[in-house]
Amino acid sequence: MTNLDDPFQWLEGVTDADALGWVRERNAETTAELTGGERFTDLEREILEVLDADDRVPYPRRRGDFLYNFWQDAANPRGVWRRTTLESFRTDSPEWDVLLDIDALGRAEDENWVWKGAAVLRPDYHLALVELSRGGADATEVREFDLRTRAFVDGGFTLPEAKTRVGWIDADTIYVGTDFGEGSLTTSGYARVMKRWTRGTPVTEAVTVFEGKPEDVSAFAYRDHTPGFERDFVGRSPDFFTSEEFLLGPGGELSRIEVPDDASTSVHREWLLIHPRTDWTVGGTTYPAGSLLLADFDAYMAGGREITMVFEPDAHTSLQGWSWTKNYLVLSELQDVKSRLEVLTPGTWERAELPGAPEVGSAHIVDTDPDSSDEYFLESSGYLQPTTLVYGVVGGDAAVVKQAPALFDTSGLTVSQHFATSDDGTKVPYFVVGDGTPGPTLLYGYGGFEIALTPGYSASMGRAWLARGGTYVVANIRGGGEYGPAWHRAALRDKRMRAYEDFSSVAKDLVARGVTTAAQLGMQGGSNGGLLAGVMLTRYPELFGAVVCQVPLLDMRRYHILLAGASWMAEWGDPDEPADWEYLRHYSPYHLVQSGRTYPPVLFETSTRDDRVHPGHARKMAARMVEQGHAPWYYENIEGGHGAAADNKQRAFMAALAWEFLLRSLAD
């Protein structure tokens, strides 16, 4: 598309003065209109109280003798990285040992650092590769940190800001993929070249161990540090859903793990797990898409194909993930979008239910200690059930160690599941949370990348919406992973309209059942869900009374050349291919919006520091709508990355804007 075709292309200049001037003007308009009243002040305060609550659940991660946690609150808005013992964690007031204070670091360096995680060296856990982001972007600066001295290592491993992939080999060697210069990144902006970097040498002397192709999404390299089973793996991801993985030998030789490209694999001790995304026939047996298969790793690499199917999906049940303890395999499953957990014993593969999943809700394993024990941490919650964290040992006792408080009144509220009939006859599940009184209703959806939306507690939503008389609905449309890979593939690429038909069918079903009216029905979505919101706005405007469109993709003609957009072409298609653009143009919101048509009120929210989904999508859509005589609301947070906020105060402000907009549009 040329500038003549797209007069607002100048807004793609993320930090260009003219573009930021336009952003500030729109922000000022929205802030002046939406933030002046008492209700907005109450909303912001109520949400911030939730985000900063001292009694919310601190999620732990086991690393050796300690449990680690990253924590943000009012006193630590950018957060602290801290640790404690299991014994202390199980008390009402754990004694936390702070390792790194991000707020103090930011003040000392006059930088807006945002925590992005740390890779800690196994099995001693005394060194870490800490990743810090400016303002919350995906690109990070890497610094080596000594957990014994609680200080960055002078002369240690450090890398400047880039979309970097790093991991430990041993105390003096790491794998690194970063911006080494021209040709070292893929067209998606991620590492194409993986190298082995030795302490005390410049990164320019790091030795290449693997190279992907320029058009790949990314390359990777990592070491499995499991005692007695140390191995090195490298590989490439040609697109978002495929990969080629190799065992890296001591002399650099590569041995391919021979599975279908669209199958994911993981190796634990002597076991190889294979999760095919399409039906796979091997050894005369066809294994269904979405199953979980197991083989002896060494025997498989030697050519053997003795495979055990440890999970078989059906029309109502899908596999969401798995976790290893030292002696067991734990499966996380969904049955009609409700969680179930099973424990399998290696060898016999006997299975038993792991208790803890709510009747209507979600449960998943937060962490295990596969090197040395059968312990697990299990989180569970529901739309009206606050988060519970259980500590247990497979085959032994389990007990609640943390319980989040109820932060909104659930009296009179119920949760129910229903099924709408989509345009092609498919039954689409959705959950309704409310008091049964017809009125303002918010419909939320995502429908992409095989991600399932499962029931979970949101105190912010409960306080801002349910407590003010609203009804909340979540649609489990195709494109997601609620029913495994087939549910995703059903809305892939040229079939994407099925996801939008599913969502519109849920909207129509809500009105038909008397839950709400079109004038009082709002919808909300972010990222891929922001694209969903844009499609609802432009193709189904008559179904909604308001639309909240957050960190969205909207220009499907140029998305693949904006930031990380090329990495998602397996999901939506390549706009440069005429056949792909032929179907993309039928739902690309930026190209469908037009003057002379009535649209519901819409709020766009995005972030200048989002280096994953370009803020130009939201900017250009809002500008085009204004030019056509519409009146969209727009707010762009200068920090925040793809989450659109860098700390709890920013999160509360952005959320309060959306709730105030919805309440004005649907309830006033």
415 and 380 share a domain? Answer: no
538 and 576 share a domain? Answer: yes
390 and 478 share a domain? Answer: no
DSSP string, 151-182: EEPTT--EEEEES-EEEEEETTEEEEES--ST
577 and 624 share a domain? Answer: yes
- CA dist 481 and 318 (Å) reads 8
Residue 10 lies in a domain: no
- Please, which pLDDT band fits residue 639 given cuts at 50, 70 and 90? confident
* Domain span at 380: 313-405
- State the DSSP code for 505: H
| Residue 1 reports pLDDT greater than 80 | no
Looking at 353, 378, 405, the residue that finishes a domain is 405
| 655: three-class secondary structure by DSSP | helix
Residue 273 lies in a domain: no
φ/ψ (deg, to 5) at 592: -95, -25
Per-residue pLDDT tens over the stretch 129-146: 999 999 888 999 999 999
Per-residue pLDDT tens over the stretch 163-212: 999 999 999 999 999 999 999 999 999 999 999 999 999 999 999 999 99
- Please tell me the predicted confidence (pLDDT) of residue 199: 98
Residue 367 lies in a domain: yes
Tokens of 281: 């026939």
- Please, which pLDDT band fits residue 114 given cuts at 50, 70 and 90? very high
599 and 455 share a domain? Answer: yes
Number of domains in the chain: 2
Starting from the edge strand earliest in sequence, which strands make up the sheet with 165-170, in order? 165-170, 173-177, 193-198, 207-211
| Residue 406 reports pLDDT greater than 50 | yes
Residue 64 lies in a domain: no
- CA dist 281 and 291 (Å) reads 12
φ/ψ (deg, to 5) at 251: -100, 10
**SS3 helix, strand, coil % of the chain, rounded to 5?**
25, 35, 40
Contacts of 137 (CB under 8 A, 6+ apart): 609, 610, 611, 641
Residue 594 lies in a domain: yes
| Residue 245 reports pLDDT greater than 80 | yes
415 and 496 share a domain? Answer: yes
Residue 276 lies in a domain: no
- State the DSSP code for 292: E
579 and 537 share a domain? Answer: yes
Q: For the chain, what percent of residues have pLDDT higher than 90?
A: 95
With both helix axes pointing from N to C terminus, report the angle between 648-666 and 17-34 in degrees, rounded to the nearest 10. Answer: 60
529 and 644 share a domain? Answer: yes
| Residue 3 reports pLDDT greater than 90 | no
Per-residue pLDDT tens over the stretch 256-287: 999 999 999 999 999 999 999 999 999 899 99
321 and 461 share a domain? Answer: no
- Please tell me the predicted confidence (pLDDT) of residue 88: 98
| Residue 642 reports pLDDT greater than 80 | no
Do residues 605 and 618 lie in contact, with contact meaning Cβ atoms separated by under 8 Å? Answer: yes
E-strand stretches of 336-374: 338-345, 350-353, 362-368
Average pLDDT along the chain: 96
Per-residue pLDDT tens over the stretch 428-484: 999 999 999 999 999 999 999 999 999 999 999 999 999 999 999 999 999 999 999
pTM of the model: 0.94
Residue 163 lies in a domain: no
Looking at 405, 437, 456, the residue that finishes a domain is 405
Looking at 405, 423, 439, the residue that finishes a domain is 405
- CA dist 504 and 506 (Å) reads 5
| Residue 648 reports pLDDT greater than 50 | yes
519 and 638 share a domain? Answer: yes
| Residue 2 reports pLDDT greater than 50 | no
Ranges of H-type helices in 430-527: 459-464, 485-489, 497-512
Positions annotated as catalytic residues are 527, 642
351 and 419 share a domain? Answer: no
607 and 595 share a domain? Answer: yes
| Residue 498 reports pLDDT greater than 60 | yes
CATH of the domain at 422: 3.40.50.1820
